[in-house]
Structure formats: structure tokens, C-alpha cells
Amino acid sequence: MSKKNNILITGGLGFIGSNLAKIILKKKIASKCILLDSYTGFINPLKDYFNDYRKFRFDKDKRIIIERGDASNFKLVLRILEKYKPTIIFHASAVPVAKLDNITGQECRRGSIDTTTNILECLNYFQSTKKTKFQRFVYFSSSMVYGDFKKPVVNENSEKNPKDAYGIMKLAGEVVTEGLCKLHNIPYTIIRPSAVYGPKDMNRRVSQIFIESAFQNKEIYIQGKNEKLDFTYIKDLANGSILAARSKKGVNEIFNITCGKGQTLLSYVIFLKKKFPNIKYVVKARDKTKPSRGTLSINKAKRLLGYKPKYSLKDGIDEYFNFLNKNIR
């Protein structure tokens, strides 16, 4: 890929989007990353200055261009396409995970269906009027589309039966992506991540809650003794997604990009206890309103993309701990 190419990332100031941008620029895959973000407020972690996530997530880098606005705004998205002519779009904007407990279907729809539809219609209009070579539209879905895992390991063809508004709208976003991309002849890739964690997460995912509680010497509450998640370190997700976006074998395909190994919430806390011997935890009954998950098969991504996650849960927690230990103590 030429260094002259630009890449657009919606939700570019978010946890996934910002890490994508940093790795793309570090590897010199593109000359510039355009980050479209609505600047939605995030949950305040351990220090007040973390609220300014623009400064927190990025050092000064002239290759980062931030555009403020909503990805469902047709005029805005079209202007960005015409101005920067991106060859790849990573569509990572979504409702913050921190809001999932009280989210409405309308909010989820806007964060997935409305934005996805708008971007693809803009892209179709742009391609029909400008001679550009667009390479890939990458839609970030979620492992929540599977709902309760019917088997210990699920693959991309496993039953999809989402259990909440977030999973329903993420699945609907997949349908919109596949349908409109085929209609308009736009090459696409769909990514299904799971339990993403790592430094600079401000979205109140379970891993963030656990490790920050440990730093603050707060009791940790585990919902479900045997409850499993396929914890995926952010760098593995970002690198795997970039592989999928750049590979010809990723065209019009769906991939689970995870660690590929489900581990209990209790396992996560036990790893933390090695660094915080005095932390206390309480195991409660699992929340039955949330899907029961586990391991996602990454065999397809390994076979077609050569994807291989580098971080075990221990490795990821070590790096996450070292970052927080350096920055908050």
C-alpha cells in the first residue's frame, strides 16, 4: 500500500479507533489518518485529566487529522471523502460500552445502522462522481451478535441470536454492510471482537473495572464463577483488523478477531492477585440478562489472513498494569 494513501477511522478517538490509528502510522501503512469522532463524553477513570482523551490517546502528530461530527451526517461524511479521498474506512464508531446497561434501541440504531448506511451511501455517491480506487470498508461488529453461546467454541457461521439492543443493532449493522456493499460493489470486511482490553481504555469494560478497582484497593465483584470471556488485547485486535483490511482474502468476509481462548472472569482476577496480593473479591451469581459467552474460533482468520494473537491474558494484564502503574502512581 502506498504511503500516500489516507485512511478514515470513524470513532477515531475511541479505544479501538485510536489504537488502529497509532499502529497504522507506526507501520507507515498510510500517510495520514483522518479521525471522525463526535467527542462523546467518556467515563472518568483514575485521574481527571484522562477526560481529555484527545490528549490522552495521542501525542502531537501531524499525520493525525481530527474531524468533529456525527458519522450519520451525509454532508459531513461526503465532505471528508472528497477532501481526503481515503482508500480504507474503518467504521469503529459505536455507542460507548459504558452505556450498555441503560441504552435504548434508538441509540444503538443510530450508532450502527444509521451511521453505516450513511457512510456507504456517501461512499457510493463519491465513487460514482470521482475516479478513485477504494480498497475496503471495515465494519466493527461484536461477539454480542451470537447471544448465548450454544457451544464451547463459536465460529463465524454459528447461530446469531443477540440478547440485547447492542447485539441486535450490531447484527443489523452487519446486514446493512453486506447488503449495501454488494449493491454498490464496495469491498467490505466485518470484524467481530470480544472483551477488548488494554491501556487507555475509558469505556468501563469489565477488564478496566477489575484492574482499576485493584489499584484503588476496592473490592472486586465477579458475576458468575464460571463466566467466560475471550479477553482480547487491544494491539492484537488492531493488528488483526489491519491484516483483514489489507488482505485480498479478507474481501467480503467476516472474521472473529480475538485471543481465541475463553477464560473465566475469576482467572482475570487471579492474575491481578499476583500483583495485588491483598485485593479482595466476591463472586456473585451471573447476570442472566446478559449473554453467556466463551471462546471464539479464530481458525478462519489464521487460515486466510495469517492472524496470530501475540498476547496471552497474562501478557496483556502485565502490559496494562505497567502502563497504569507508571501513569497513576
pLDDT tens-digit map of 141-183: 999 999 999 999 999 999 999 998 889 999 999 999 999 999 9
- Of 28-37, 99-108, 131-140, the poorest mean pLDDT is in 99-108
Strand, helix or coil for residue 28: coil
Q: Could you tell me if 204 and 100 are in contact, meaning their C-beta atoms sit under 8 angstroms apart?
A: no
Return the CATH superfamily for domain 6-328: NAD(P)-binding Rossmann-like Domain (3.40.50.720)
Q: What is the pLDDT of residues 40-59, one digit of tens each?
A: 654 444 545 444 555 556 66
Q: What is the pLDDT of residues 198-237, one digit of tens each?
A: 988 877 788 888 988 998 889 999 988 889 999 999 999 9
Task: Write out 35-63 in H/E/C secondary structure.
Answer: EEECCCCCCCCCCHHHHCHHHHHCCCCCC
Listed residue (163, 161, 42, 26) closest to 94, CA to CA:
42
pLDDT at 96: 55
Strand, helix or coil for residue 206: helix
pLDDT at 224: 87
Higher pLDDT, 111 or 65: 65
- Of 55-64, 210-219, 289-298, 314-323, the poorest mean pLDDT is in 55-64
Dist. CA 76–CA 69, nearest whole Å:
7
Q: Is the pLDDT of residue 100 over 70?
A: no
Q: Using 50, 70 and 90 to split pLDDT, how confident is the model at 127?
A: confident
Q: Could you tell me if 14 and 193 are in contact, meaning their C-beta atoms sit under 8 angstroms apart?
A: no
Q: Is the pLDDT of residue 92 over 90?
A: yes
The domain segmentation of the chain, as residue ranges, is 6-328
Q: Using 50, 70 and 90 to split pLDDT, how confident is the model at 62?
A: confident
C-alpha 82 chain-centroid distance: 26
pLDDT at 58: 64
pLDDT at 105: 59
pLDDT at 52: 54
Higher pLDDT, 74 or 224: 74
Dist. CA 323–CA 317, nearest whole Å:
10
pLDDT at 61: 80
Q: Could you tell me if 232 and 296 are in contact, meaning their C-beta atoms sit under 8 angstroms apart?
A: no
CA angle at 112 for the pair 109 and 116, rounded to the nearest 5°: 120
pLDDT at 143: 96
Dist. CA 298–CA 156, nearest whole Å:
9
Q: Any long-range contacts for 305-308 (C-beta under 8 Å, 24+ apart)?
A: 305/240, 305/243, 305/244, 305/247, 305/249, 305/250, 305/255, 306/243, 307/239, 307/240, 307/243, 307/244, 307/255, 307/257
Mean residue pLDDT of the chain comes to 88
Dist. CA 2–CA 143, nearest whole Å:
33
Dist. CA 281–CA 219, nearest whole Å:
5
Element (H, E) at 192: strand 188-192
Which of 63-72, 182-191, 315-324 has the highest average model confidence (pLDDT)?
A: 182-191
Q: Is the pLDDT of residue 1 over 60?
A: no
* Mean pLDDT computed over 300-320: 96
* Mean pLDDT computed over 262-283: 92
Dist. CA 267–CA 177, nearest whole Å:
36
Backbone angles phi, psi at 90, to 5 degrees: -100, 115
Q: Strand 232-233 vs strand 6-10: parallel, antiparallel, or unpaired?
A: unpaired
C-alpha 329 chain-centroid distance: 28
